[in-house]
Amino acid sequence: MNTPKCPACGRVMTRYGHLASGAQRWRCSLCNISQVSRINSMAKHLDEFLAWLLGRRRQADMPGGGRSFRRRCEPLWQLWPFSPIIDEVHDVIFVDGIHLGRNAVVLIAQTPDCVLGWYAARSENSRAWGALMSRIAPPALVVTDGGSGFAKACKRIWPTTRVQRCTFHAYCRIRQATTMRPKLEASRRLYALGRQLTHVTDIEGAQEWIGAYQGWCTRWKDFWEEKTRRPEGGWEYTHERLVRARNSLNKLISQGLLFTYLDPTWTHQMPAMTNQIESTNAQLRQILRDHRGMRLTRRMKAVFWWYYIHSAHPQPAATILATMPTDAALENAWYHASQTHQATGTIPVWGDAICFNELHHTTPYHNTWDQPPTNTFCPTTPVLLGPRSYISGLLLYKLLDK
């Protein structure tokens, strides 16, 4: 039986009659405090909320058109599921990012079995990748599509980890330069090499492919070195897209990133593509389409929840409610950071912050949707003000991307 404990001393309380409604009263014999024990259904509501968010059921199909469901789940939108610290060493990790808006991307690291970590940032850069990778033990091999800033972060955070560039993305780079129906002979030859790249399965095949590619570079050297005068002056490559594709392949071959998966020192077969993580992104995009219309912070939380549920050890709903931070906790942490670390330059100061009154007009009419949040920030604090949903997204960036 769930016998309540005294909120003051922690002793087990005893029965103390009933209310007029029939609810049981409890009393502490030491502190003489009485209370009514209420049933907390938030854990059950969280399970219901996640089943809807990660499923394909519409709110309109729920009883009452989903009105009761929205009322029950409104407080649950305040939770932020954060990724755990991974100290287990894995053989291979896939990394990628899914863009949710013009200035919003969620980076992900996962194994073939589960999600290891995720991180929200404004763009793919070395600082964002470093923040994600610093919470995960260095693996033996990491497979990437070559996102911006990843190489720099990997060299700093995972110096002993081998890197494999996804061969399908390398082929896509060739296809982008030649198109799928190239008209020039040089483009047709390079496109054929790109299609062969995704079917290399052994060292001999890799050496043959590199030899054929070097032969292509030698055979068509005069062709892709042709230049054309620009109308405004100067010169440019006539076949600039082919030159860019050639430079990209030369860089991958010289750095040894194209056929890392074929190293004979591996004890078992390693993957050459990021198919596993692309499948994850496809499921996330389907969820966002099923619940289209959500604002940025809710789209980001939907992605976070999917990652958390598919992590190695997701906690039960009651533990999540007790441990995961909320919007208010993030706002409070950001406020204290702005007071104690303004000298570091990571928090806006006077002159580079946006004032709420500069973008909104005060009127005597009732307009609650466009008012700044109350009991959150001091009026004299030089921070960014605005509607709560907008602040929540910016708080996440300030806390995680700085």
DSSP-derived 3-state class of residue 232: coil
Question: Is residue 25 located within the same domain as residue 153?
Answer: no
Cα–Cα dist 307/42, whole Å: 21
φ, ψ of residue 258 to 5 degrees: the values are -85, -35
Question: Is residue 397 located within the same domain as residue 371?
Answer: yes
Residues making up the chain, counted from first to last: 402
pLDDT of 372: 41
pLDDT of 341: 60
Own/partner contacts of 220-229, CB < 8 Å, gap of 24 or more, are: 220/186, 220/189, 223/186, 224/186
| Cα 34 to the center of its chain, rounded Å | 47
Cβ contact 66:59 at 8 Å: yes
Q: pLDDT-based confidence at 359, cuts 50/70/90?
A: very low
Q: Where are the beta strands (DSSP E) in 24-114?
A: 24-27, 34-36, 92-101, 104-110
What integer is the mean pLDDT of 18-26? 86
Q: Over pLDDT 90: what percentage of the chain?
A: 46
261 within a domain of the structure (yes/no): no
Cα–Cα dist 300/122, whole Å: 12
- Rounded mean pLDDT of the chain? 82
Q: How many domains does the chain have?
A: 3
Question: Is residue 8 located within the same domain as residue 155?
Answer: no
Question: Is residue 315 located within the same domain as residue 382?
Answer: no
Question: Is residue 345 located within the same domain as residue 320?
Answer: no
Cα–Cα dist 286/280, whole Å: 10
What integer is the mean pLDDT of 201-213? 93
152 within a domain of the structure (yes/no): yes
Question: Is residue 50 located within the same domain as residue 19?
Answer: no
111 within a domain of the structure (yes/no): yes
Question: Is residue 20 located within the same domain as residue 56?
Answer: no
pLDDT of 384: 35
Q: Which two tokens stand for residue 195?
A: 């299609």
For 43-97, write each residue's pLDDT tens digit: 999 999 999 999 888 888 888 788 888 998 899 999 999 888 888 899 999 999 9
Q: pLDDT-based confidence at 395, cuts 50/70/90?
A: low
Whether 337 shows a pLDDT value over 90: the answer reads: no
Cβ contact 186:174 at 8 Å: no
Cβ contact 136:161 at 8 Å: no
Q: What is the DSSP string of 165-178?
A: E-HHHHHHHHHHHH
Question: Is residue 162 located within the same domain as residue 281?
Answer: yes
C-alpha distances (whole Å) from 232 to each of 228, 240, 297 are: 12, 17, 45
For 360-385, write each residue's pLDDT tens digit: 445 554 444 444 444 333 333 333 33
25 within a domain of the structure (yes/no): yes
C-alpha distances (whole Å) from 252 to each of 145, 161, 219, 382 are: 12, 16, 20, 47
pLDDT of 23: 85
124 within a domain of the structure (yes/no): yes
CATH of the domain at 308: 3.30.420
State the chain's maximal CA–CA distance in angstroms: 97
Question: Is residue 109 located within the same domain as residue 5?
Answer: no
Q: Please list the alpha-helical segments (H only) found in 262-384.
A: 275-290, 296-309, 317-323, 327-340, 356-359
pLDDT of 330: 84
Cα–Cα dist 371/385, whole Å: 9
For 312-330, write each residue's pLDDT tens digit: 889 999 999 988 988 888 8
Q: pLDDT-based confidence at 356, cuts 50/70/90?
A: very low
Whether 187 shows a pLDDT value over 80: the answer reads: yes
Question: Is residue 17 located within the same domain as residue 136?
Answer: no
What integer is the mean pLDDT of 146-163? 91
Q: Over pLDDT 70: what percentage of the chain?
A: 84
Question: Is residue 25 located within the same domain as residue 154?
Answer: no
pTM of the model: 0.75
Question: Is residue 353 located within the same domain as residue 394?
Answer: yes
Residue 18, domain extent: 1-39
255 within a domain of the structure (yes/no): no
Whether 268 shows a pLDDT value over 70: the answer reads: yes
pLDDT of 66: 84
